[in-house]
Amino acid sequence: MPVNYPGTVWVSDDPKIVYKIPIKPDEDDGIAETEINGRKIEFLICTLYNDVEVFPIESIFINENGEECVDGETILFSGRIHFHKDYFIIFIDKDTDTLFNGQYSTLVFNRVID
DSSP string across the chain: -GGGSTT-EEEEETTEEEEE--SSTTT-S-EEEEEETTEEEEEEEEEETTEEEEEEGGGEEE-TTS-EEE-TTS-SEEEEEEEETTEEEEEE-GGG--SSTTS-SEEEEEEEP-
Q: 89 and 82 in contact (C-beta within 8 Å)?
A: yes
Question: pLDDT for 76-101, tens place per residue?
Answer: 999 999 999 999 999 999 999 999 99
pLDDT at residue 14 above 90? yes
Q: Is the pLDDT of residue 39 over 70?
A: yes
The number of residues making up the chain comes to 114
> Does residue 32 register a pLDDT over 90?
no
**Domain residue spans of the chain:** 2-112
**Arithmetic mean of pLDDT over the chain:** 86
Query: 0.85 cut: is pTM over it?
Result: no
Separation between Cα atoms, residue 60 and residue 50, nearest integer Å:
22
Mean pLDDT computed over 57-85? 84
User: Which pLDDT score, from 0 to 100, does residue 27 have?
Assistant: 53
Q: What's the rounded Cα separation, in Å, for the pair 15 and 90?
A: 12
pLDDT of residue 59: 81
pLDDT at residue number 26: 59
Direct distance between the N- and C-terminal alpha carbons of the chain, in angstroms, rounded to an integer: 19
Q: Are 89 and 66 in contact (CB under 8 A)?
A: no
Is the pLDDT confidence value at 63 over 90? no
